[in-house]
Structure 1
Amino acid sequence: MKLGSLKEGGRDGTLIVVSRDLTRAVRATGIAATLQVALEDWSNLAPRLNALSESLNSGDADGVFDLDFNVLAAPLPRAYEFVDGSAYLPHVERVRRARGADVPESFYTDPLMYQATSAAFYGPRDAVRVVSEDYGIDLEAEIVVITDDVPMAVTPAQAAAHIQLIGLVNDVSLRNLIPGELNKGFGFLQSKPRSALSPVFVTPDELGASWRDNKVHLPLLTHINGEWFGAPEAGVDMQFDFSQLVAHAAKTRPLSAGTIVGSGTIANEDTSKGASCFAEKRTVETLRDGKPSTPFMKFGDVVRIEMKNSDGSHIFGAIEQRIEQQPLP
């Protein structure tokens, strides 16, 4: 099934079930007011939501309305946790090689992960607001999984059973602020503003055979201002699968229902597949030419991130956002 949230009913939105073709929807408030509420009682409420989904897709549901992406909030407008990994080591290797640094051996056995901003997410058509272009505005096209309650110290095999939904994220980064923050030795803060989530999250069965080994085996497509930017294969070159990422996050603490776990920027060894962020593209240029030639994003630029099935149909809907200047208070 496919689930989304309308921009109504308060900060956490109103839960809707969306048709498989992303054209129709029905409010699910008779089952759960919000997606967060549904995730907190997933074992009991998911079967009821699935029955509503089947009714919607067969044309039998009441209260059906045409879906308008412009009125959608993020499926989880806010979450208790968003932890983002860096599971695609070709990206890590290239970035470090470009600055003359080796990749520590531990990177191949222990995932990189940080605590990201989760107090609010942009909806799929909301503008990305940044104060200054000098911050180095970048996108990061990624896949996320959403969990129910995950116990502390689960194994990857146990963690896999707690992955309930899958979606996309534009994990916005302000690249020119990152070096100064990392040099302090205390991680990201100002350089990682709000991110945007796909119009819907889907249960793994919606991906069919493309969801296997706890990975999504499809390309993730990005366009900038209508021009192709990249379509790396998400199931290729992923050093750590999602069960390993969830288990890593839960090593010393339980994860609350509604925790979002990100894959990190999708990247392949094969650079002909393009990039999922400007930092990756600029790194490839630096390794090839000695310096980057592609600038970061400017106000007015539009980013579009989407994933399609083998038949060309959309799975999650597209994140499509304009970069806009945030006026000072």
Structure 2
Amino acid sequence: MKLLRVGPAGAERPVVLAPDGTARDLRPLTPDLDGAFLAALDPAALDLAALPVTDLAGERVGPPVARPGKIVGIGLNYRDHAAEAGAAIPAEPVVFLKPTNTLVGPNDQVLVPRGSEKTDYEVELAVVIGRTGRYLETPADAAAIIAGYAAVNDVTERAFQFDRGGQWDKGKSAETFTPLGPWLVTPDELGDPQALDLRLWVNGELRQDGSTAAMIFPVHETVRYLTHFMRLDPGDIVITGTPAGVTLGRPGTPFLRAGDKVALEVTRLGRQETTLGQA
């Protein structure tokens, strides 16, 4: 099942895409795709035929999750990316947090921060939590609390991240730095989260071409691990790391600037396309 939110920023409406390609309005069931709806979601029990058909022509696509409680990031989760960053392979997941006000739609404008020297891209798989998770024991337990998956760009300002006091959150927190979507795809439709291709282009040039099969810490293990350090709640988002090919690992390649066009795709999770602006 594919879930999305369409409409002006701050006034999106929830929609489900039926297998026949028609879009169905979810507002008879929920005002939004928030944690409360995701906690009660049972894709097998949803009667799509009972929902009104809606037209998506010309509609802006927003992030497919409304008002997440937190966005949790995982760093250096691919060996090739750790190598290009000059970092050791982590013994445990590297965890950071992103403000929820970085969240934007998949095709919304990403703003290069004022004072930026090294704004960079990171195509990633995002996990959206659907049940509360505390001190989970096994990866199977973690799989049971996942509502769905989405494509995400973990935009990062490297000078803020590494050169301004060693705080990763500084480089991850600028407004618009988490474009998410277009869809939230439920686990039954996605299949194996460790068998997805991730690709990203800048101005038409392929920069990243990886697979979630290469993760150091697989999705379900990562979610299980996090629940021993924080409670995960319905609507929370976990972004799971990026493969090699970021600008940081390409000496001589210019970092992102206003006017650049970034596109990315993740298998079965759709495509993002954005043109960068200046904050």
Structure 1 and Structure 2 fold alike (TM over 0.5):
yes
Give the length in aligned residue pairs. 274
The answer to whether structure 1 residue 293 and structure 2 residue 252 are counterparts is yes
The answer to whether structure 1 residue 249 and structure 2 residue 226 are counterparts is yes
**Paired residue secondary structure (1:135):** coil
1:120-157 per-position Cα deviation (integer Å, ceiling 9, x unaligned) = 51111111012447431111100011112333211233
What residue number does 1:124 align with? 106
What residue number does 2:117 align with? 135
Normalized per residue, the structure richer in strand is 2
Alignment of 1:1-329 (within 5 A): 1-7=1-7, 11=10, 13-20=12-19, 24-36=22-34, 37-42=36-41, 46-49=43-46, 51-52=47-48, 55=49, 63-68=52-57, 70-86=59-75, 87-96=77-86, 103=88, 107-108=90-91, 110-132=92-114, 134-155=116-137, 156-183=139-166, 186-189=167-170, 191-193=172-174, 194-208=177-191, 211=192, 215-235=193-213, 237-267=214-244, 275=245, 277-280=246-249, 282=250, 292-308=251-267, 315-326=268-279
**Paired residue secondary structure (1:67):** coil
What residue number does 1:285 align with? none
User: CA distance change for structure 1 residues 133 and 323 in 2, over 3 Å: closer, same or farther?
Assistant: farther
| Structure 2 spans left out of the alignment, 5+ residues | none
| Conserved? CA contact 2:208–2:243, under 8 Å | no
| Structure 1 spans left out of the alignment, 5+ residues | 56-60, 98-102, 268-274, 283-291, 309-314
C-alpha distance in 1, partners of 2:209/2:13?
32
User: CA distance change for structure 1 residues 222 and 323 in 2, over 3 Å: closer, same or farther?
Assistant: same
Structure 1 residue 322 displacement after superposition: 0.6
| Conserved? CA contact 1:83–1:114, under 8 Å | yes
User: CA distance change for structure 1 residues 249 and 259 in 2, over 3 Å: closer, same or farther?
Assistant: same
User: CA distance change for structure 1 residues 304 and 138 in 2, over 3 Å: closer, same or farther?
Assistant: same
C-alpha distance in 1, partners of 2:129/2:215?
20
**Paired residue secondary structure (1:198):** coil
C-alpha distance in 2, partners of 1:64/1:25?
6
C-alpha distance in 2, partners of 1:151/1:222?
31
User: CA distance change for structure 1 residues 144 and 220 in 2, over 3 Å: closer, same or farther?
Assistant: same
C-alpha distance in 1, partners of 2:161/2:58?
32
Give percent identity, aligned residues only: 28
Q: Which runs of 4+ in 1 moved over 6 A?
A: none
1:231-264 per-position Cα deviation (integer Å, ceiling 9, x unaligned) = 21221x2111111111222103321101111111
| Conserved? CA contact 1:80–1:119, under 8 Å | no
User: CA distance change for structure 1 residues 73 and 316 in 2, over 3 Å: closer, same or farther?
Assistant: same
User: CA distance change for structure 1 residues 223 and 151 in 2, over 3 Å: closer, same or farther?
Assistant: closer
Structure 1 residue 77 displacement after superposition: 4.1
For the aligned residue pairs, the C-alpha RMSD in angstroms reads 2.3
Aligned residue type for 1:307? V
| Conserved? CA contact 2:66–2:235, under 8 Å | no
Aligned residue type for 2:187? P
C-alpha distance in 2, partners of 1:85/1:124?
20
**Paired residue secondary structure (1:65):** coil
The higher radius of gyration belongs to 1
C-alpha distance in 2, partners of 1:242/1:190?
23
Q: Higher relative CO (CA 8 A, sep ≥ 6), structure 1 or 2?
A: 2
User: CA distance change for structure 1 residues 170 and 302 in 2, over 3 Å: closer, same or farther?
Assistant: same
Q: TM-score, normalised by structure 2?
A: 0.88
Normalized per residue, the structure richer in helix is 1
